[in-house]
Amino acid sequence: MTAGRWRDPVAAGIGALLLGLLATPWVYVGFGAFSAFPPSFAAVATPLLIVATLNLGLEAFGRLRGFRIPRLVGALLSAIVLLVILSGLMEIALAKSKEAGLLATLWLGASTVWLVVSLPLGEVGPEAILRSYLSNPVPRRIALVVANILFTVLVVLSWCYLTTPSAFIG
């Protein structure tokens, strides 16, 4: 924990968006999205999702040293697996016209939950890792612009999803 240390809002926001994306497939699974698939898909996707989440979580929260290239390749493969499974859950298990809005809503919700949970914890997870990368002004500005664009797109998609009457009816 970083007692008395100022938290970087850019690193906190980007870290929350990253962890929100990491948690979003599990929210889909919690809603029973695997029930729309054959049991063989769930039998293959569940262990892959567990391993990918654990690997990315370990990279985000662990202070790992050494094996930089294998860890980078593992994190990249885990991110690909996570995004492919999330894409599959969105495509088939949900209504075609609403999957982007639901994804945005779940992603923002998970990110907000992480921001609230991390308040008493201080600078942890990706926020602690990103702080050192965002110390230079140029990467910081680029990250801020990208995070603002992503956040704006997520808010607009979520707003459209939540204010459309058919989203509540089904």
Q: What percent of the chain has pLDDT over 70?
A: 86
Residue 79 included in any domain = yes
Residue 128 included in any domain = yes
Contact 43, 85 (CB under 8 A): no
Residue 80 has pLDDT above 60, yes or no: yes
Cα distance between residue 147 and residue 155, in whole Å: 12
Residue 2 included in any domain = no
Read off the pLDDT of residues 121-156 as tens digits, 9 standing for 90 and up.
Answer: 777 777 777 777 788 888 888 888 988 998 998 899
Residue 98 included in any domain = yes
Label residue 97 exposed, middle or buried (CB < 10 Å: 0-12, 13-18, 19+). exposed
> Is the pTM above the cut of 0.85?
no
Domain that holds residue 146: 9-169
When divided into structural domains, the chain yields a total of: 1
Read off the pLDDT of residues 43-75 as tens digits, 9 standing for 90 and up.
Answer: 888 888 888 888 888 777 776 677 778 888 888
Residue 117 included in any domain = yes
Residue 1 included in any domain = no
Residue 30 included in any domain = yes
Read off the pLDDT of residues 105-123 as tens digits, 9 standing for 90 and up.
Answer: 888 998 888 888 877 777 7
- Reduced to 3 states, what is the DSSP secondary structure of residue 123? coil
Residue 63 included in any domain = yes
